[in-house]
């Protein structure tokens, strides 16, 4: 009986959701005007400081010319932020236009409610062909797509598996970034209904951990010392003690095999053990030989130095940083090359003139800032996410946008582009008015963005939620009953919390007011000061 009731409840939810979708898309279905196609290229953990158009500190050694092309030919959003800096929740916010507490995907242990409305469902009903290829990471079967082919979980860089629409898995030999692009172009060329407008979500694993470059890029930075961030050896003074309790430091939290590509078991206690390089295990014998030839000599130099006692803590941290950042940037080289392949295909086929192309990522990432890798914290490097868009005939080439946007804005933007009315329960705002007005935001645009991270055992990053304006950032850590506030103009590296500084009393009062207003606006009920 319980199962019958549960099934009836699910069917009712689906019927109600479908009714809402049909009501919203009816005007668009009736309008057969030439609506634009959308190609949405979405990566994983791509930090702004690794994109040349955003001012990469690695620009002397490497660039992202194809991603940068979108900035030259379209718009670069300078203040694009995520609502929750972790993979699955960010993707759920993109699909629904809602914060995590509203769409139900709070952290990576959540399961996405496939019955809820999403922008692909609205576009599908409005006559768009919809496809998703690559990373999904929401633990349920994608809905709202005419075609999908997705990586299981985080997916693999080497000889990856893809889940097919019938639920089966197929393995493909090669490098995942290349294969996702192959499949994306194949869908564009041969699998879609060419009489309809389309949205293609081409979603990459790169540059997610464990940062295995394509073989052609194994030695991309051989013999080069890449620049270190100023805060690589941050001591976390003048801020919450919660920062010292994280488990995502380059110095202490890299695995011997998984992160550092060393074989066997650790010979030094300053590396974590127990997790081998699983990508190496997926390689053919021929692929392993190429990998070992590239990494073996440098690995042996390290082993010799460790055995001779020549690596003090600082020297070893610097070595770990170089291994990490070279591999991270190596994965981005292939990513950028494949963005170029998509752009070339659109040019060659004549699709470019009526196709919006977006490049974004689920969040930013720490490239050694504060001594960290990974994300989660509300500090700038992981809060900020790239957003570049080319829309021929609408967006003026070379536009730079200062308005603050979030990933909850992606869904309503796609709906307005397609001529679909934006539902009232979507919490984001369409970017179309900004795009059509040379990058200038409407007068009533938001003055602050809201962020909510629920906390997880992984990496031991404390729960916190807060707000950011154009100059200041405020967040609250409920487990510590503690506020942090930063002046981003005077302290862009976020090294000193000024929440208790008397000269910031007026700013603190205003920021706390904004914080409570946005909590009320977005109907956030948990983890507020005072025990809410």
- Kind plus residue range of the DSSP H or E element containing 302: helix 285-307
Contact 412, 422 (CB under 8 A): yes
**Residue 339: what pLDDT?**
98
- Would the pLDDT of 29 be above 60? no
Q: Cα angle vertex 27, ends 23, 32, to 5°?
A: 140
User: Each residue of 243-290: pLDDT tens digit?
Assistant: 999 999 999 999 999 999 999 999 999 999 999 999 999 999 999 999
**Residue 11 — very low, low, confident or very high, per pLDDT cuts 50/70/90?**
very low
Nearest to 40 by CA among 524, 387, 498, 476: 387
**Residue 456: what pLDDT?**
85
- Average pLDDT on 473-485 reads 97
Residue 193: exposure state from Cβ atoms within 10 A (0-12, 13-18, ≥19): exposed
Q: Residue 106 and residue 85: Cα distance in Å, rounded?
A: 11
- Would the pLDDT of 178 be above 60? yes
Q: Residue 195 and residue 229: Cα distance in Å, rounded?
A: 50
- Would the pLDDT of 32 be above 70? no
**Residue 34 — very low, low, confident or very high, per pLDDT cuts 50/70/90?**
confident
Q: Residue 520 and residue 323: Cα distance in Å, rounded?
A: 45
**Residue 33: what pLDDT?**
54
User: Each residue of 82-117: pLDDT tens digit?
Assistant: 999 999 999 999 999 999 999 999 999 999 999 999
**Residue 329: what pLDDT?**
98
Q: Cβ–Cβ contacts within 10 Å for residue 350, how many? A: 9
**Residue 528: what pLDDT?**
52
More confident residue, 502 or 23: 502
Q: Could you tell me where the beta strands, DSSP code E, fall in 298-424?
A: 355-361, 387-390, 399-406
**Residue 173: what pLDDT?**
98
Q: What is the per-residue burial (b if ≥16 Cβ within 10 Å, else e) of 481-513? A: ebbbbbbeeeeebbbbbbbeeeebeebbeebbe
Nearest to 368 by CA among 42, 81, 47, 43: 47
φ and ψ at residue 287, rounded to 5 degrees: -65, -40
Mean pLDDT of the chain: 94
Q: Cβ–Cβ contacts within 10 Å for residue 189, how many? A: 11
Contact 91, 110 (CB under 8 A): no
**Residue 3 — very low, low, confident or very high, per pLDDT cuts 50/70/90?**
very low
Q: Residue 12 and residue 284: Cα distance in Å, rounded?
A: 49
Residue 280 three-state SS: helix
What residues have CB less than 8 Å from 209, skipping those under 6 apart? 45, 258, 259, 373, 374
Q: Residue 366 and residue 181: Cα distance in Å, rounded?
A: 26
- Would the pLDDT of 23 be above 90? no
- Would the pLDDT of 134 be above 50? yes
Q: Residue 331 and residue 327: Cα distance in Å, rounded?
A: 6
User: Each residue of 339-355: pLDDT tens digit?
Assistant: 999 999 999 999 999 99
Q: What is the 3-state secondary structure (H, E, C) of 74-142?
A: CEEEEEEECCCCCHHHHHHHHHHCCCHHHHCCCCCCCCCCCCCCCHHHHHHHCCCEEEEEEECCCCCCC
**Residue 30 — very low, low, confident or very high, per pLDDT cuts 50/70/90?**
very low
- Would the pLDDT of 31 be above 50? no
Tokens representing 503?
Answer: 């000269």
How would you list the strands of the sheet with 355-361, edge to edge? 169-171, 161-163, 147-151, 129-135, 198-203, 37-43, 355-361, 387-390, 75-81, 399-406
Q: Can you list the domains of the chain with their CATH numbers?
A: 37-137+144-207+351-439 (3.40.720.10), 215-324 (no CATH), 452-521 (3.30.1120.10)
Q: Residue 30 and residue 503: Cα distance in Å, rounded?
A: 59
Tokens representing 80?
Answer: 């694009």
């Amino acid at each position: 009986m319980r199962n019958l009731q549960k099934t009836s409840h699910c069917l009712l939810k689906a019927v109600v959701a479908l009714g809402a979708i049909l009501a919203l898309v009816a005007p668009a279905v009736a309008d057969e005007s030439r609506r634009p196609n959308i190609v949405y290229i979405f990566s994983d953990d791509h930090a702004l400081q690794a994109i040349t158009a955003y001012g990469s500190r690695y620009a002397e050694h490497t660039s992202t010319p194809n991603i940068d092309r979108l900035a030259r030919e379209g718009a670069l959003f300078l203040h694009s932020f995520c609502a929750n800096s972790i993979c699955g929740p960010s993707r759920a916010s993109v699909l629904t236009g809602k914060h995590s507490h509203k769409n139900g995907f709070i952290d990576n242990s959540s399961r996405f409610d496939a019955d809820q409305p999403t922008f692909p469902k609205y576009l599908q009903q409005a006559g768009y062909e919809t496809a998703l290829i690559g990373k999904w990471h929401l633990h349920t079967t994608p809905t709202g797509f005419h075609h999908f082919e997705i990586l299981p979980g985080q997916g693999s860089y080497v000889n990856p598996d893809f889940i097919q629409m019938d639920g089966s898995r197929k393995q493909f030999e090669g490098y995942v970034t290349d294969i996702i692009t192959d499949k994306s172009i194949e869908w564009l060329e041969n699998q879609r209904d060419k009489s309809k407008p389309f949205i293609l979500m081409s979603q990459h694993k790169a540059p997610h951990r464990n940062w295995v470059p394509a073989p052609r890029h194994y030695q991309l930075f051989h013999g080069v010392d890449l620049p270190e961030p100023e805060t690589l050896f941050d001591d976390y003074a003048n801020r919450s003690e919660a920062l010292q309790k994280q488990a995502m430091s380059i110095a202490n939290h890299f695995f011997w095999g998984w992160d550092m590509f060393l074989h066997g078991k650790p010979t030094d206690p300053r590396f974590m053990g127990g997790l081998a390089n699983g990508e190496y295990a997926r390689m053919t014998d021929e692929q392993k030989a190429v990998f070992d030839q590239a990494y073996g000599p440098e690995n042996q130099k390290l082993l010799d130095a460790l055995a001779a006692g020549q690596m003090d803590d600082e020297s070893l941290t610097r070595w770990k940083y170089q291994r990490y950042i070279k591999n991270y940037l190596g994965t981005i080289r292939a990513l950028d090359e494949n963005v170029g392949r998509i752009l070339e295909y659109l040019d060659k086929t004549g699709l470019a003139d009526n196709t919006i192309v977006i490049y974004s990522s689920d969040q930013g990432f720490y490239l050694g800032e504060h001594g960290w890798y990974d994300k989660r914290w509300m500090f700038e490097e992981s809060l900020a996410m790239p957003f570049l868009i080319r829309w021929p005939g609408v967006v003026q080439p070379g536009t730079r946008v200062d308005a603050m946007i979030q990933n909850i804005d992606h869904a309503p933007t796609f709906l307005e582009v397609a001529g679909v009315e934006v539902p009232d329960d979507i919490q984001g705002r369409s970017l179309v008015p900004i795009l059509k007005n040379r990058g200038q935001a409407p007068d009533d645009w938001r003055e602050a963005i809201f962020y909510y991270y629920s906390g997880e055992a992984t990496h031991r990053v404390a729960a916190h939620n807060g707000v950011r304006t154009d100059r200041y950032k405020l967040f609250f850590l409920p487990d510590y009953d503690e506020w942090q506030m930063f002046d981003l103009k005077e302290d862009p590296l976020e090294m000193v919390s000024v929440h208790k500084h008397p000269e910031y009393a007026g700013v603190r009062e205003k920021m706390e007011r904004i914080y409570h207003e946005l909590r009320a606006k977005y109907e956030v009920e948990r983890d507020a000061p005072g025990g809410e």
